[in-house]
Amino acid sequence: MKGLILHESARGIDAYGPESGLLKSRMLFFTEEVTPESSNELIEYLLFLDKDAPGEEITICINSPGGEVVSGLAVYDTIRMLESPVRTVCIGTAASMGSILFLAGEKRLMLPHCKIMIHDPLIAGLSGSKKALELEKEAAKLMETRAITGGIIAERSGHTLEEVLEKTKEDCYLDAEEAIEFGIATGIIEKW
């Protein structure tokens, strides 16, 4: 349910969408699959806000099923390089690559009933016949991606890579308290 917000000012009455007001508050929402398009849009907004007021906190609210690894890592790297501190807030489920985006924040907060899901990366779209060497090459890429994403989870949570890889062998859903205990989240947000 999106509508216009009317705001009276010295210039008269301005009408804008809720996303404009949130952008003015340096709050972004990432509530979709991680794709090249969605990632590029988020990076553009992050760079804009960082240049607009360097050093002022940016908040990203995340409710994402995850998605494409390279695009997600581009967002993760961008967040980590910004001059402005970034606070990530899980507002539903931050799953798979969505959890990696969540981990990019310095402050990583969750609403009380949200979930984080971490797991080993998947090969999407395997179809048709593959030769043994093609499968071996795909498996090597997958293991490289596993090491990268596992390394990020380990670094940000304070666990060893071995502990993380053991935890992510299967889909691992963590509620807010469990995410804090594991070091993925830094707190529970109870008031905006």
Active site residues: 96, 119
The one-letter amino acid at 96: S
